[in-house]
Amino acid sequence: MTAFLLLAAVLCWLALPFLPALHEALRPHDDGALPISERYQEDLRLATPDADDVPPQLPDGRSDADPARDLPLIVRHAYIGAVGQSADEIRVSGMARLRAGTTVRRRLQVGGSVEVDPGSVLRGSAEAGTHFWLGSDVTFERVHAPTIEVGVGSATLPDAIPAPFDFPVPDDADLRAGRALIRGDLMVPPGARLDVTLVVTGTLALGPGAHVTGDVKAHGDVTLGHGAAVGGNLFAGNDLTLGDRATVTGAAVAEGVLTIGASACIGQPTAPTTATAREIQVASGARIHGTLWAETTGRTLSMTAAADAVA
């Protein structure tokens, strides 16, 4: 008898954790969804940057933000901001347009394409899933997209580029280690083609239409003239200036100021890369595939300012 009572007590003790579940199964009282305030449908300020999903969009799928609001915004589908809008963070799953004078202090993340109107400020990280259009006089730090374009191309750029010809490596060049090392400064004449990886201990200037097929590194300033091209990566120990319609297939890195001229191009659609420098200036019509990263500040230029920058 004692053993039976002891066994019953043990079984009752083991069943205790299951009693709430049995009670809920027999008489459910928590079988409905929790109520959600309708304000979540109307007020974007209730969205938080740590949410796992974006809140429902406004009825038309768009949102015009109040410029007085200064809070993170998370929006589904398309988004059009207000003139002079200010926010710490903006996340949009579709396309977006930031109107003139917008300030984003920490992060801009757009799943589709984004257009940033003139006079805006993008601090921190800004990225788009497809295209990133920047208007003139836009300040930025880090911009990433498969294609980054600034303003519109210029119709006044000269089309004439000197006819290409093979340019011999200087006789005093050090050709060891699979590259041509030039001690001092080097000026590559217009239209010249060098099929080599090039290292210059001084300054380097490529004339209009000049082309170096390999990587290029110079300890001083580097200047690419109109239509000049580098087929690999390009590194400048000081300032780097890309003239109108100049192209760099690989990365473009400068320790000083990087100036990207009108309709110049860095990277390729199938091979995104990075353009980075302490300070970056980008002219209208320029195109970068990948990342544009300014250590201190980056700025897009008006047509007049761009002409002065690359002169």
Q: Any idea where the domains of the chain sit in the sequence?
A: 39-129, 165-280+295-310
**Nearest CA to 302 among 157, 152, 155, 136?**
136
Residues of the chain with pLDDT under 70: 1, 29-72, 152-165, 167, 171, 303-311
Q: Residue 180: what pLDDT? A: 87
Task: Render pLDDT for 233-266 as a digit per residue (tens, 0 to 9).
Answer: 999 999 999 999 999 999 999 999 999 999 999 9
Q: Residue 64: what pLDDT? A: 44
Q: Residue 69: what pLDDT? A: 47
Task: Render pLDDT for 103-160 as a digit per residue (tens, 0 to 9).
Answer: 999 999 999 999 999 999 999 999 999 999 999 999 999 999 999 999 864 444 555 5
Q: Residue 155: what pLDDT? A: 41
DSSP codes joined into one string, the chain: -HHHHHHHHHHHHHHGGGHHHHHHHHS----SPPP--THHHH-GGG--TT-SSPPPPPTTS-----TT--S-EEESS-EE--TT-EEEEEEESS-EEEPTT-EEEEEEEESS-EEE-TT-EEEEEEEESSEEEE-TT-EEEEEEEEEEEES---S-S----PPPEE-PPPTT-B-GGGSEEE-S-EEEPTTEEE-S-EEESS-EEEPTT-EE-S-EEESS-EEE-TT-EESS-EEESS-EEE-TT-EESS-EEEEEEEEE-TT-EESBTTB-EEEEEEEEEE-TT-EEEEEEEEEEEEEE--HHHHHHHH-
Looking at residue 80, its amino acid is: I
